[in-house]
Amino acid sequence: MHNRSFLRCENVTQDTASVRTFALRVLAKEMAEQCDMGKYLILELPDQDGVIQQRNYSIVGRPEADLVEISVKDTGRSGISSQLHSKVVVDSLLLSAGVGGAITVDSLADVQKVAMFAGGIGITLPLALIRQLDMRAKKKIWTPSVQLFVSVPSLVELPYLDELLAMALSSAWLDVRIFLTQEKFVSDSKLFTSGRPQRADYKEMSVPDIAVICGSKGFVSENRDVLNHLFPETKLLIENFTQVSDHVRHSADGDEASCNVTVYGTDQQHQFSKGVTLLGEFDRCHLKIKSQCKSGICGSCRVRLRSGSVRSDGDFALTPRERENGYILSCCSYPTSESICIEI
Ligand code: FES
């Protein structure tokens, strides 16, 4: 997956006050071939401090084989998304470190019922899938029924609103519910509801074969727990791009404690900061660990903790049995003891 390529920005549209869609021409043919809608582009860009960062963005549109669209929300913070908003214009060149992700329309083949849960800009992945299902339905290709729950603070903050409504009105297989978490909305229609989805809303669904969840870490955790409880047989497909920072998170009292790390089966010892993910510190020490999503989803950065303790923040990939056996995700784990031993 890690074929690097430059991308040339060909168009920028302002979708909402804080969301822009960038149309990017993929200049390397090999990468262009991998750009299925629903997968994500790994973009590399300096943040406001000039530190190169990576961030993943779902491919929400693919108007041409080598032209892809990503939608980016400016969070107002100093990360890559804000840099994209402030720096990238038509003809800007961007660098991508590859294409990742495995959730595409093919993931929904041969199932009857799909549920999708999107939080805010997390709508991009469900929309990519729904757009493709819509194309298939128009060609009379089998389409599962889809129930989409979108949660967003207010209506004006939801990109693609018109398109979603138009598809929902014209498609028997698509049912959309929009939850306005911070806006009062008086309507008899079930389309718009004020407040977050309640258990009763989930219970009204017929049991989905597959549920796609996309949003912030908190949103994903909440929905995963509800779905595991109500529909234990449902297969969950999760995407969460709240990337864990590799930078030192200075504690309030300025304490930057370190941890002595031994690499199991070798005589290598390293000092890791307790405020940085293990993956970030492995990288700094030139210890090669496979990684892809850097947000606890794909499981590729799995390592085994042989001794000591860590805090894992946002692990969505490991099974309970793997955790019992000491496996941890290095992209979202921080040392908490004075020393640890890791098998890589
Ligand atoms: S890199 Fe994907 S789970 Fe860590």
Ligand 1 pocket member 328 (CB < 6 A): no
Section 19-25 average pLDDT? 98
Q: Is the pLDDT of residue 7 over 60?
A: yes
What confidence score (pLDDT) does residue 80 get?
A: 86
What confidence score (pLDDT) does residue 243 get?
A: 54
Q: Is the pLDDT of residue 325 over 80?
A: yes
Name the pLDDT band for 248 (thresholds 50, 70, 90): very low
CA of 340 to the centre of ligand 1 (A): 20
What confidence score (pLDDT) does residue 316 get?
A: 86
Ligand 1 atom with the smallest distance to the CA of 296 is: 3
The pair phi, psi for residue 170, each rounded to 5°, is -100, 0
The pair phi, psi for residue 229, each rounded to 5°, is -75, -50
Ligand 1 pocket member 280 (CB < 6 A): no
Query: 276-297 burial string, b = 16+ CB within 10 Å, else e?
Result: bbbbbbbbeeebebebbbbbbb
What confidence score (pLDDT) does residue 124 get?
A: 96
Section 251-261 average pLDDT? 67
Q: Which residues contact 94 (CB under 8 A, 6 or more apart)?
A: 6, 7, 8, 9, 24, 43, 45, 88
Placement of tokens 């997390």 in the chain: 122
* Residue of 244, 246, 292, 328 to mutate, ligand 1, most atoms within 8 A of C-beta: 292
Ligand 1 pocket member 317 (CB < 6 A): yes
Helix, strand, coil percent content, the chain, rounded in steps of 5: 25, 35, 40
pLDDT, tens digit (0-9, with 9 covering 90-100), for 151-165: 999 999 999 999 999
Helix axes 124-138, 161-170, angle to 10 degrees: 40
What confidence score (pLDDT) does residue 66 get?
A: 97
Section 43-49 average pLDDT? 83
% of the chain with per-residue pLDDT over 90: 74
Q: Which residues contact 187 (CB under 8 A, 6 or more apart)?
A: none
Ligand 1 pocket member 301 (CB < 6 A): yes
The pair phi, psi for residue 61, each rounded to 5°, is -145, 155
How high is the mean pLDDT of the chain?
A: 90
Name the pLDDT band for 51 (thresholds 50, 70, 90): confident
Give the span between the Cα atoms of 210 and 222, in whole angstroms. 17
pLDDT, tens digit (0-9, with 9 covering 90-100), for 166-218: 999 999 999 999 999 998 877 777 899 999 999 999 999 989 999 999 998 88
3-state DSSP of 36-59: CECEEEEEEEECCCCCEEEEEEEC
The pair phi, psi for residue 209, each rounded to 5°, is -75, -40
The three-class DSSP label of residue 200 is helix
DSSP 240: -
Give the span between the Cα atoms of 305 and 340, in whole angstroms. 7
What confidence score (pLDDT) does residue 256 get?
A: 62
Contact between 237 and 146 (Cβ < 8 Å):
no
Ligand 1 pocket member 297 (CB < 6 A): yes
What confidence score (pLDDT) does residue 292 get?
A: 82
Ligand 1 pocket member 220 (CB < 6 A): no
CA of 47 to the centre of ligand 1 (A): 21
Give the span between the Cα atoms of 215 and 220, in whole angstroms. 6
Name the pLDDT band for 242 (thresholds 50, 70, 90): low
Ligand 1 atom with the smallest distance to the CA of 294 is: 1
pLDDT, tens digit (0-9, with 9 covering 90-100), for 106-127: 999 889 999 999 999 999 999 9
CA of 315 to the centre of ligand 1 (A): 9
Name the pLDDT band for 52 (thresholds 50, 70, 90): confident
Show the domains of the chain with their CATH numbers.
5-100 (2.40.30.10), 105-239 (3.40.50.80), 258-343 (3.10.20.30)
Give the span between the Cα atoms of 296 and 333, in whole angstroms. 9
Give the span between the Cα atoms of 280 and 244, in whole angstroms. 10
Q: Is the pLDDT of residue 8 over 50?
A: yes
